[in-house]
A and B are shown apart, each in its own frame.
Chain A
Amino acid sequence: MIKAARDTLLQAYPNAPWRSQVQVIGVFAVGLVSIAMLAGLYLVVSVQAATLGREIQDIQADILEVQRENANLETRLAELTSAAVMENRALVMGFQPASEGSREYLPVPGYVSRQAVVLAPPPGLAVPQGTEFPIELNQTLFQWFEDLLRSANFEAVQEPGAAPEQPGP
């Protein structure tokens, strides 16, 4: 019975050669679609990476712009609160400079006089560090895949449960 079926099949192919062609085309199409899918996936990831790269560049430009604006605002604020401007404003508002006759000193127990400015912590105290980009933002799909393989390979060569190497005496 098996022999009969095999004979029938062998006979069918010479009688209908398109079957072989369809098979070849099918395999080719599967390969093509697979490649297209990979290429498409790669393209999407690439576009996302490129877009993020540009966004990073834009953000860096924005940071510089904000820094310049901050510098301008600091300077403007300092101008508005400069000694001469403040004195003029005080005079316009009706204040008078303190004179010998207008002052009165009162003893205030525990009074702490004006302290010098502290603009930053003294040496020894931790200072917050700047942020860093996560590696994913700089990594292509292939680099990610390569890293994945490399880490998988590294885990494979590690014996499960092996103790970490100890330094000798």
Chain B
Amino acid sequence: MTQHWRFSTIALAFTVAGLMILVKLVEVQFAGPDRDFLLRQSDIYSGTWITVYPSRGHIYDRWGNLLAANEAVYQIGLDLEAVIDPAGIAYAVSLITDEEYDRVYQIASQEPGPDLRFPIIADYVPYDDVEKLDNLKRTLASLEARSEDQPIKSLHGLIFTPHLTRSYPEGDLASNVLGFFSRNGQGYYGVEEKYNELLSGEPTRVWVPEDPYQVEDLPEIPPGADIVLTIDREIQEMVEDILDKAVIHNGAEAGTIIILDPNSGEILSMAAYPRIDPNAYWKFDELISGTTPFNPAVSNAYEPGSVYKILTMAAAFDDGAVDLDTVFLDEGRIEIGGAEIKNWNQAAWGEQDMVGCLQHSLNVCLAWIATRLGPGSFYEYMLDFGIGHATGIDLAGEVSGRLKVPGDSDWYTADLGTNSFGQGVSVTPLQMVLAAAALANDGEIMAPHILRSLINNGHQYDPPPQLIATPITPETARTVTLMLATSLEDEASVALVPGYRLAGKTGTAEIPTPYGYTSAVTNTSFVGWGPADDPQFVVYIWLEKPTSSIWGSVVAAPIFRTVVERLVLLMNIPPDDIRLGAAVP
């Protein structure tokens, strides 16, 4: 009986204990004061929300050469609770990376706390440095005996976290076109800024559970779109090489060369000097001064000077104001709107036909032609050529220049005369090359573009070329092209390339200052295209304030010849006799 009582007591005790546990379980689960806290804790440790940033899209040249890619770099951090030897960590990190010993030591010797456990020492550390640190860390961890005078005892606590960063394998090649992608996750200038959203893709927040039962396939985060540019790497490199040497040789402040395919509006090359290496974009200020735009080809409007005369002449031919039989008696001066206009050499050139006016670049003749056109017709043509408004090219930072037209508060009749030879009007190099492209492409201007293809979601999209304006007829375009080719040949210009008939015009522009125009320093330029019978390229050269000479015919024309000599090889354009001989069996 006594034994039975004992058993009952023990059974009762176990039952009560079990019930208490059960009650506590129910309380914790459903009604206890700690319920919310515990739920939060379980949520915290059940997984992590992470934001997955798609890898930034690649940028290729027209043949598939990589111009902008990504590479893995590392963030070096610490787990302060695991750090054994702060001095050793500081010593090793400062030895292998550029970090300062004192700074690293100060971080590594902090006491861990609720808000301080994983401080960051350095970021964007290249793989080679991280590999050295990691090897050292492993070696030290495997050593059992350590001598007291050993400078590094343990790198325990060092954490390496990889991530991707932007890389430009070609260095500064076409950097004025590419722009750069900064470490704050934003594209600046050029293509990187213009197509930032497409290149970046859509960042996605993903829940990554710790519970292995809950593991799911990470959603496919599509990478940013890849972009194929119209730029030809070989042509770009050739042009940059020539431009760099020319700027230095001529003592110029800056320079720009653009090569455009007039038939499609594709930019084959757009070179600028100076330019930066986008891999070290933070040195921007060292290379590019405050007033120089990142990409002068689209962001720098200036008075073009005599290259502009081709537009005035084309407008006059198209309008019927002049023709090939028109003769102008040049007396060396003309007055328009109260302003006296003279030729570049202050001389009178006598009777000149229209080819002569272009060949000798006569300001007086062109101003006279503008008066025959009249302001209404002249400015209508100029607007049709795209002067005074942005071209709409897919590059960041384009400016529109300025074309004063009748009706503007600051337009005067005298402007008609000066505008006719490219003074008092500002254009970007791209606007100028595009207007010239109308003459090279039977009067049609194709939309200038730098994007050749877009690769998104596994498909390649090739936007077709677009016609944006037809300022002149094909007959006018061919006539002016032949006139310019003849004028180059007649003056035995240094721009000529043996074997190829080219059309072109030099430009020497005075630079406006707060005290009027100065002739001491000029902008020298040359625009030309070829082959004259079937133009495949338009080349525009602009050197800013050269000191070797103030004349475009001396500075820019030889650069044009050098560029075209190599361009025809890279574009596989045979000399005219071979090409035309092959075309006519």
A12 within 8 A of B: no
**B223-247 interface code vs A (CB 8 A; 1 in, 0 out):** 0001010000110110000000000
| A100→B499 contact, CB < 8 A | yes
Q: How far is the CA of A40 from the CA of B164 in the complex (A)?
A: 46
Contact flag A127-B213 (CB < 8 Å), given A69-B72, A83-B237, A117-B64: no
| A103→B173 CA distance, assembly (Å) | 27
**Chain A contacts for B457, CB-based, 8 A:** 127
- Establish whether residues B459 and A123, one from each chain, have CB atoms under 8 Å apart when the complex forms: yes
Complex: A140 Cα to B214 Cα, angstroms:
10
Is there contact, CB below 8 Å, between B63 and A56?
no
Q: Are A116 and B460 in contact (CB under 8 A)?
A: no
Are B459's CB and A125's CB within 8 A?
yes
A117's closest neighbor in chain B, by CB?
A: B64
Q: B69 to A75, Cβ gap below 8 A?
A: yes
Contact A120 B455 (CB under 8 A): yes
Contact of A103 with B569 in the complex, beta carbons under 8 Å = yes
Instruction: Say which size band chain A's interface belongs to.
Output: 35 or more
Is B66 touching A78 in the complex (CB atoms < 8 A)? yes
Closest Cβ of chain A to B459, distance in Å, is: 5
**B217 interface residue (CB < 8 Å to A):** yes
> Which residue of A is nearest B61, CB measured?
A117
Residues of chain A within 8 A (CB-CB) of B55 are 67, 71
Interface string of B452-474 (1 = CB under 8 A from A): 11010111111000000000000
Interchain CA distance A50-B170 in the complex, whole Å:
47
Q: Does A110 contact B (CB under 8 A)?
A: no
Find chain A residues with CB under 8 A from B127 CB.
Answer: 72
Residues of B within 8 A of A56 (CB): 212, 215, 217
A74 within 8 A of B: yes
> Are the C-beta atoms of A79 and B169 separated by less than 8 Å?
yes
Mask, A45-72, CB within 8 Å of B = 1, is 0000111111011001000010111011
| Interfacial residues of chain B within 38-68, with CB under 8 A of chain A in the complex | 55, 58, 60, 62-66
Within 8 A of B (CB), among A75-93: 75, 77-79, 81-84, 87
Chain A: minimal CB distance from B77 (Å): 17
A119 touches B218 (CB 8 A): no
How would residues 98 to 109 of chain A score, 1 for a CB under 8 Å from any chain B CB and 0 otherwise? 101001010100
Shortest Cβ distance from B169 into A: residue: A78
Contacts of A127 in B (CB 8 A): 457-459
- Bound complex: CA A57 to CA B5 (Å): 57
Q: Are A72 and B578 in contact (CB under 8 A)?
A: no
What is the chain B residue whose CB lies nearest that of A102? B569
Residue B111 CB within 8 A of the other chain: no
Contacts of B460 in A (CB 8 A): 118-122
Q: Is A20 an interface residue (CB 8 A)?
A: no
Q: Which of B171, B212, B215, B218 contacts A82 (CB 8 A)?
A: B171
Q: Contacts A72-B71, A100-B498 known; A78 to B65 CB distance under 8 Å?
A: yes
B167 A119 Cβ-Cβ under 8 A: no
A95 within 8 A of B: no
Query: A79 to B64, alpha carbons, bound, how many Å?
Result: 14
| B218 in contact with A60 (CB, 8 Å) | yes
Chain B 549-585 per-residue mask, 1 if CB under 8 angstroms from chain A, else 0: 0000000000000000110010010110010001000
A-chain residues with CB within 8 Å of residue B220 when the two chains form the complex? 130
Contact B452–A50 (Cβ < 8 Å): no
Residue B371 interfacial (CB < 8 Å) = no
Q: How far, in whole Å, are A127 and B459 apart by their CA atoms in the complex?
A: 8
Q: Please measure, in the bound complex, the distance between the C-alpha atom of A87 and the C-alpha atom of B570, giving whole angstroms.
A: 14
Q: Is the CB of A105 within 8 A of B212?
A: no
Q: Are A121 and B458 in contact (CB under 8 A)?
A: yes
A34 sits at the interface (CB 8 A): no
CA distance A52 to B213 in the complex (A): 9
Compute how far the CA of A125 lies from the CA of B582 in the bound complex, rounded to whole angstroms.
39
B458 touches which of A50, A78, A82, A120 (Cβ 8 Å): A120
B70 close to chain A: CB less than 8 A: yes
Interface residue SS majority, chain B: mixed
Tell yes or no: A18 within 8 A of B by CB: no
B286 interface contact, C-beta 8 A: no
Number of A-B residue pairs at CB separation under 8 A: 126
Tell whether, in the assembled complex, residue B228 and residue A74 are in contact, meaning their CB atoms are under 8 Å apart: no
State which size class the interface on B falls in. 35 or more
Q: Could you tell me which residues of chain B, from 357 to 396, have a CB within 8 Å of some CB in chain A? A: none
Cβ of A117 and Cβ of B228 under 8 Å apart?
Answer: yes
- Chain A positions within 8 Å of B119 at CB level: none
Given the known inter-chain contacts A72-B72, A78-B69, A100-B499, please indicate yes or no for A119 contacting B455, CB distance below 8 A.
yes
Bound Cα distance from A46 to B505, whole angstroms: 82
Contact of A74 among B69, B218, B575 (CB under 8 A): B69
How many Å lie between the Cα of A118 and that of B60 in the bound state?
11
Contact (Cβ within 8 A) B162 A83: no
Contacts of B574 in A (CB 8 A): 105
A119-B212 in contact (CB<8A): no
- The yes or no answer to A3 lying at the interface (CB within 8 A) is no
Inter-chain contacts of B70 with A (CB < 8 A): 71, 75
Q: A53–B215 contact, CB under 8 A? A: yes
Q: Is residue A113 within 8 Å, beta carbon to beta carbon, of the partner chain?
A: yes
- In the bound complex, how far is the Cα of B127 from the Cα of A75, in angstroms? 13
Rounded to whole angstroms, the CA-CA distance of A132 and B218 in the bound complex is 10
Residues of chain A contacted by B148 (CB below 8 angstroms):
none
Q: Given contacts A57-B212, A79-B169, A132-B217, are A123 and B72 in contact (CB under 8 A)?
A: no
State A75–B70 Cα separation when bound (angstroms).
Answer: 7
Q: Is the CB of B170 within 8 A of A84?
A: yes
Bound form: Cα–Cα A107–B566 in Å: 20
Q: Which of B170, B214, B453 contacts A119 (CB 8 A)?
A: B453
- From residue 161 to 197 of chain B, which have CB atoms closer than 8 A to chain A? 162, 164, 167, 169-171, 173
**Distance of B56 from chain A, by nearest CB (Å):** 10
A49 CA to B211 CA in the complex, in Å?
11
Interface check A6, CB cutoff 8 A: no
Chain A interface residues toward B at CB < 8 A: 49-54, 56-57, 60, 65, 67-69, 71-72, 74-75, 77-79, 81-84, 87, 97-98, 100, 103, 105, 107, 113-114, 116-125, 127, 130, 132-133, 138, 140
- Could you list 29 A-B pairs, sorted by A, with CB under 8 Å? A49-B212, A51-B212, A54-B212, A56-B215, A68-B162, A71-B69, A72-B71, A74-B58, A74-B69, A75-B66, A75-B69, A79-B169, A81-B65, A82-B169, A82-B170, A83-B65, A83-B173, A83-B234, A84-B171, A98-B569, A105-B574, A105-B575, A116-B452, A118-B460, A119-B460, A120-B458, A122-B459, A133-B216, A138-B215
Task: Give the 4 A-B CB pairs with smallest separation, nearest first.
Answer: A53-B212, A78-B169, A117-B64, A127-B458
